[in-house]
Amino acid sequence: MKKLRVLVLVHPDLIPPDSSKGYSEQEINEWKTEYDVVTTLRRAGHDVHPLGVHDELKPIRDEIESWKPDVVLTLLEQFRGEAVYDQNVVSYLELMHVPYTGCNPRGLMLARGKDLSKTLVHYHRIPVPAFTVFPMRRKVRRPARLGLPLIVKSLNEDGSYGISQASVVDSDAKLAERVSFIHERIGTPAIAEQYIEGREIYVGVLGNERLRVLPVWELEFGNMAQGDWPIATEKVKHDPDYQERRRILHGPAKNLAPELVARIQRIAKRIYRTLELDGYARIDFRLAADGTPYFLEANPNPEIAESQEFAAAARHDGIKYPDLLQRILALGMKRAAPSVVAG
């Protein structure tokens, strides 16, 4: 591919340094995605310009007009601290008619709500955990159809924000307590889902119209403390010391029958299409002991640090990291205009 001007949108605190030398593992962990993306694309010969974005669109516009990037690569997961505003920034890029990587704004919106995405997916007869939503300031009453244990989460946050061992509740008192925690501390409505005992399975999908599905990946909870639930809490996802201590590892899912692998991959593609995703996304499941893959959530624009699940699964499938980033740029540049997609 020819040398491109790539404008990379990042959180202002996560503009990566030129070299990771002298930083602790904890520090690197904060900006490893931004660092890996920027350094890898530079090494591939592209002209890469990271731009910190917090609560202003004007710098994006100025940069697009003065520097004229060939493509905007967005690593933003929020705007003004709000995760749900990620789609607004992408909508703005769409209005500016500049090619951008990752998912279109409609897909971001459909995938965001943990209730909406499950309702859409369930319509296509794909198994999802039973759930109920607890809006803000409403009394918490568990519907009779929902048995315990349940897992209580923010309706629309991600990155396991607000998810800890206390999220899994086995009594109505604990349910009420955890719902008010989400309302008051996280500041969003809550969703309570049937807790699905099973393996934690991730499936990467890459593409706009034609899709490439990556190998079925598993997060293994090697060595949890006695009585702990094997779930991807904030600590499991973001604390390297904890990951090491508890031997949290990810890798290709082992010992799955080829038919089951094919089925999971087929379902992942159907979910990707149902939620109108494009670019790249990771679809997450819990695989119950009877072989049913329950859809947990779709993550458009998942984290793509070289060591993380998506890039690792791509590498396992023969797509080296620089090639993966190159494909993501190419998919952004050849996305059809919205009118074509909608038609």
Ligand X SMILES: Nc1ncnc2c1ncn2[C@@H]1O[C@H](COP(=O)(O)OP(=O)(O)O)[C@@H](O)[C@H]1O
Asked if 304 touches ligand X (CB under 6 A), the answer is no
SS3 per-residue string spanning the chain: CCCCEEEEEECHHHCCCCCCCCCCHHHHHHHHHHHHHHHHHHHCCCEEEEEECCCCCHHHHHHHHHHCCCEEEECCCCECCEHHHHHHHHHHHHHCCCCECCCCHHHHHHHHCHHHHHHHHHHCCCCCCCEEEECCCCCCCCCCCCCCCEEEEECCCCCCCCCCHHHEECCHHHHHHHHHHHHHHHCCCEEEEECCCCEEEEEEEEECCCEEECCCEEEEECCCCCCCCCCCCHHHHHCHHHHHHCCEEEEECCCCCHHHHHHHHHHHHHHHHHCCCCEEEEEEEEECCCCCEEEEEEEECCCCCCCCHHHHHHHHCCCCHHHHHHHHHHHHHCCCCHHHHHC
* Tally of residues, the chain: 343
Of residues 195, 285, 310, 321, which one binds ligand X by CB under 6 A? 195
Asked if 153 touches ligand X (CB under 6 A), the answer is yes
Find the part of the chain contacting ligand X (CB under 6 A) among 16-24, 104-112, 153-161, 323-331: 153-161
Q: Are 121 and 271 in contact (CB under 8 A)?
A: yes
What is the closest distance, in whole angstroms, from the C-beta atom of residue 42 to ligand X in the complex? Answer: 30
Residue 148 or residue 232: which is nearer to ligand X going by CB?
Answer: 232
Subset of residues 229 to 248 that bind ligand X, contact rule: CB under 6 A = 231-232
Residue 98 or residue 298: which is nearer to ligand X going by CB?
Answer: 298
Asked if 286 touches ligand X (CB under 6 A), the answer is yes
Asked if 285 touches ligand X (CB under 6 A), the answer is no
Find the part of the chain contacting ligand X (CB under 6 A) among 12-20, 31-39, 190-198, 328-336: 190-198
Residue 4 or residue 264: which is nearer to ligand X going by CB?
Answer: 264
Q: What gap in Å lies between CA 134 and CA 152, rounded to an integer?
A: 10
Asked if 78 touches ligand X (CB under 6 A), the answer is no
- Torsion of Cα atoms, 278 then 284 then 290 then 292, to 10°: -30
Residue 17 or residue 149: which is nearer to ligand X going by CB?
Answer: 149
Asked if 86 touches ligand X (CB under 6 A), the answer is no
Find the part of the chain contacting ligand X (CB under 6 A) among 35-43, 73-81, 155-163, 258-266: 155-163
Residue 6 or residue 150: which is nearer to ligand X going by CB?
Answer: 150
Asked if 200 touches ligand X (CB under 6 A), the answer is yes
What is the closest distance, in whole angstroms, from the C-beta atom of residue 158 to ligand X in the complex? Answer: 4
Q: Of 136, 91, 93, which is closest to residue 109 (Cα–Cα)? A: 91
Asked if 331 touches ligand X (CB under 6 A), the answer is no
Find the part of the chain contacting ligand X (CB under 6 A) among 44-52, 150-158, 244-252, 272-280: 150-158
What is the closest distance, in whole angstroms, from the C-beta atom of residue 8 to ligand X in the complex? Answer: 23
Asked if 159 touches ligand X (CB under 6 A), the answer is yes
Of residues 94, 278, 297, 306, which one binds ligand X by CB under 6 A? 297
Asked if 112 touches ligand X (CB under 6 A), the answer is no
What is the closest distance, in whole angstroms, from the C-beta atom of residue 39 to ligand X in the complex? Answer: 27
What is the closest distance, in whole angstroms, from the C-beta atom of residue 12 to ligand X in the complex? Answer: 23
Kindly list the residues in this chain that would bind ligand X in the complex (CB under 6 A).
Answer: 114, 129, 151, 153, 158-161, 163, 193-196, 200, 231-232, 284, 286, 296-297
